Amino acid sequence: MRLLVLGGTVFLGRAVARLARAGGHDVTCLARGTTGGAVDGVRFVTGDRDRPDGLSAVDGETFDAVVDVTTRPSHARHAAAALAGRVGHYSFVSTCNVYPDDATPGQRADTAKLHDPAPPEIDNPRDGQMDMYGPCKVACENAIRDGIGADRVFLLRAGLIVGPEDRSDRFPYWVARMRRGGEVLAPGAPDELVQFVDVDDLAGWLLLAGTTGLAGAYDGMGLPMPRVRFLTELRDALAPAGPTLTWVDQDFLVEHDVRPWSGERALPLWLPLPEYGGFQSRDTTRSVEAGLPARPIAETALRTAHWMDTAPQDVKPGGLAPEDEAIVLREWHARSA
């Protein structure tokens, strides 16, 4: 397969390029080259997609498949116009932020309501307008589907992507926390759900979509699992004789300024209920049936830990600091005594 990756220098794009190269595909990555490095053995060409002619480096070339991760509707429009008629299949990596309903569990990609697309004057959600991230991705989806043809477009609405080269503080926080050992503050209740996907599983699915012609909208994440399973399997992989889990309920966490999802004083992968009851509980049965794999948590944990050890400069600090965690646990035990 002749594959064009629009990006390919960070995280998921790099994983796609790396797996495609290992699988014997002919891979070209087009990017500015300012946010990451190209994969060894992959052809890299420079292009600035902020310009209407940003894909001119591949003018006249044809590709069996394209993988695109842009957040900017103008990029999507320019790519669709430039590549229409020259590509067999187009995979666009969208996001579950295209859905406005974060509260309802069990939603499906083929039936869930979407945000309205971003208006034309909004083109970059990172310019202080992150509330427009989902609407911008909807606009990108529409531009690519309209320009390339719905029967040749795979819309992959990714959730939380984890694994090596994850520069967020979400999954890496839990890897580091389990390795540190001791008493671990487990947020919420054991049966609350979490949902994510390994970066290489998602990359492999994108390659499968390109080779089989999979089309339509799918959510790119594994089946939801109880938080207790996630934390227990993570612990057993990284420190089987070490940490103990202490479950602290949501109201107490909120009272003590423990924050959700990511960032300073946060417990990653935890979100308040019921307002986010649907965010990590999407019905992804269709995705699994369409070939999305799910490797064991232990494998993802060990691979992530190895990357964190070998590239510590790329690991983003964040989450609840050890001293703050100790204070919250001490006060929880005092309240429960």
Measured in whole angstroms, the distance separating CA 319 from the mean position of its chain's CA atoms is 18
**Average of per-residue pLDDT across 38-65:** 93
Residues 81 and 57 in one domain: yes
pLDDT exceeds 90 at position 196: yes
**Average of per-residue pLDDT across 295-303:** 98
Whether residue 287 is contained in a domain is answered as no
Proportion of the chain above pLDDT 70, given as a percent: 99
From the list 83, 101, 100, the residue with the least C-alpha distance to 92 is 83
**Residue 171 and residue 195 in contact, taking contact as beta carbons nearer than 8 Å:** no
Classify the C-alpha dihedral 6-9-11-17 as positive or negative.
positive
**Residue 8 and residue 24 in contact, taking contact as beta carbons nearer than 8 Å:** no
Proportion of the chain above pLDDT 90, given as a percent: 91
**Residue 137 and residue 94 in contact, taking contact as beta carbons nearer than 8 Å:** yes
Whether residue 151 is contained in a domain is answered as yes
Q: What is the pLDDT of residues 306-320, one digit of tens each?
A: 999 999 999 999 999
Whichever domain contains 120, its CATH number is 3.40.50.720
Whether residue 207 is contained in a domain is answered as no
> What pLDDT is recorded for position 35?
75
pLDDT exceeds 90 at position 336: no
Whether residue 212 is contained in a domain is answered as no
What residues are paired with 217 via a beta bridge?
155
Whether residue 203 is contained in a domain is answered as no
**Average of per-residue pLDDT across 72-87:** 96
- Whether omega for the bond prior to residue 274 falls within 30 degrees of 0, making it cis, is yes
**Average of per-residue pLDDT across 44-60:** 93
pLDDT exceeds 80 at position 130: no
> What pLDDT is recorded for position 128?
64
**Average of per-residue pLDDT across 195-223:** 98
Whichever domain contains 308, its CATH number is 3.90.25
Q: What is the total count of domains within the chain? A: 2
Residues 137 and 87 in one domain: yes
pLDDT band at residue 96, thresholds of 50, 70 and 90?
A: very high
> What pLDDT is recorded for position 26?
96
Question: Last residue of some domain: 99, 132, 158?
Answer: 158
pLDDT band at residue 252, thresholds of 50, 70 and 90?
A: very high
Edge-to-edge strands of the sheet including 63-68?
A: 43-46, 26-31, 2-6, 63-68, 87-95, 153-158, 216-220
Measured in whole angstroms, the distance separating CA 47 from the mean position of its chain's CA atoms is 24
Residues 16 and 132 in one domain: yes
Instruction: State the Cα–Cα distance between residues 197 and 208, nearest whole angstrom.
Output: 16
The boundaries of the domain holding residue 249 are: 171-194+225-281+296-336
Whether residue 56 is contained in a domain is answered as yes
Q: Where are the alpha helices (DSSP H) in the chain?
A: 11-22, 73-83, 133-148, 171-180, 199-212, 227-238, 250-255, 285-289, 297-310, 322-336
Q: If you average pLDDT over every residue of the chain, what do you get?
A: 95
Residue bearing the bigger pLDDT, 7 or 214: 214
Residues 64 and 113 in one domain: yes
pLDDT exceeds 90 at position 8: no
Contacts of 281 (CB under 8 A, 6+ apart): 105, 106, 193, 195, 224
pLDDT band at residue 241, thresholds of 50, 70 and 90?
A: confident
pLDDT band at residue 289, thresholds of 50, 70 and 90?
A: very high
> What pLDDT is recorded for position 127?
66
| Tokens coding 198 | 């390994």
Whether residue 213 is contained in a domain is answered as no
Whether residue 110 is contained in a domain is answered as yes
